[in-house]
Amino acid sequence: MTIATIDGKVVLEAVNKAVEEHGATIDELIPILNDVNRTLGYLPANALDEISRRLRVPKSQLFSVSSFYRMFSTKPRGKHVVQFCESAPCHVVGGRQVWASLLDHLKIGPGETSPDGNWTLITTSCLGVCGVGPVIIIDDDIYGNVAPDQIAEILARYSETGE
């Protein structure tokens, strides 16, 4: 749930909360980044600055970590993030058709954010819910056994609530 421009105070609060919960040690760096990314929707530069200062970790290391892991984003994402599992187990049970339907409805390509800032579409590797493939995840909601003709209805749930 990204906010277009994030108030410096909000960023600071998110970092504070995460550092307090995990402790300011280097072995907690990734859990801290995880929490901040979750709260803010991405990792803004000033959040990385603050974490660098608090954990005494060089900024270069923070940038290399935040660009390495798939769950971190250094750029703002859409209001809702749609993750599509592109691994083999989902692929062989109809993932291709679901993917086509997603592209059709969202009208954006993989890795892109819609012009209205509502949607970001990303492909991901296996999410560990393969028993019910094809799988898509929207924000934190998991959808299993997805059929191509359900996509419109699933996406509509997010537009209506206006979250």
Partner 1 sequence: MKTYRAMVLVSNDPLSIERGSQQVYAKLTEEIAAYGLQDEISLSMVSDIGRHDAAPLVIVYPDAVIYGPIAPENVHSLVEEHLYKGRVVAGLQAPLKEMTGRIAWLSARKGTLPAEQRIVLERAGLIDPESIEDYIIHDGYAALGKVLAEMKPADVIAELEKSGLRGRGGAGFPTGTKWKFVSKANGSQKYVICNADESEPGTFKDRLILEGDPHSIIEAMTIAGYAVGASEGYIYIRGEYTLAQERMYRAIIKAKEMGFLGDQIFGTNFSFNLHIHSGAGAYICGEETALIESIEGKPGIPRARPPFPTTHGLWGKPTLVNNVETLANVPPILRRGAAWYHSFGTPSSPGTKVYTMLGNINVTGVVEVPMGITLREIIAIYAKGMKKGSSFKLAQTGGSSGSVIPSSLQDTPMDFDSFSKAGVSLGSGALLICDEDTCVVDLARVLLNFFRVESCGKCNPCRIGTQRAFEILTTITEGQGTLKDLDTLLELSNNLAMMSNCGLGQTAGTPLVDILKYFRAEVEAHIRLKVCPAGVCTMKPHVHPEGKVHQNA
Cβ pair 135, 144 in contact under 8 A? yes
Binding positions for partner 1, 119-148, rule CB under 8 A: 120-133, 140-145
Span interacting with partner 1, options 4-12, 57-65, 146-154, 155-163, rule CB under 8 A: 57-65
Cα 36 to Cα 23, 39, 81, 101: the distances in Å are 14, 5, 16, 32
The tokens of 24 are what?
């300011």
**CA-CA-CA-CA torsion for 120, 45, 20, 139, nearest 10 degrees?**
0
User: Which is nearer to partner 1, 9 or 153 (by Cβ)?
Assistant: 153
Q: State the chain's maximal CA–CA distance in angstroms.
A: 50
Span interacting with partner 1, options 6-14, 74-82, 150-158, rule CB under 8 A: 74-82
Cβ pair 85, 134 in contact under 8 A? yes
Q: How far is CA 130 from the centre of its chain?
A: 19
**Quick check: 3 binds partner 1 (CB under 8 A)?**
no
Binding mask of the shown chain, residues 12 to 41, with x at each position contacting partner 1 by CB under 8 A? --------------xxxxxx-xx-------
**Quick check: 89 binds partner 1 (CB under 8 A)?**
yes
User: Which is nearer to partner 1, 9 or 32 (by Cβ)?
Assistant: 32
Q: How far apart are CA 131 and CA 146, in angstroms?
A: 12
Instruction: List contacts with partner 1 (CB under 8 A).
Output: 26-31, 33-34, 55, 57, 61, 64-65, 67-75, 77, 81, 86-89, 91-93, 103, 109-113, 120-133, 140-145
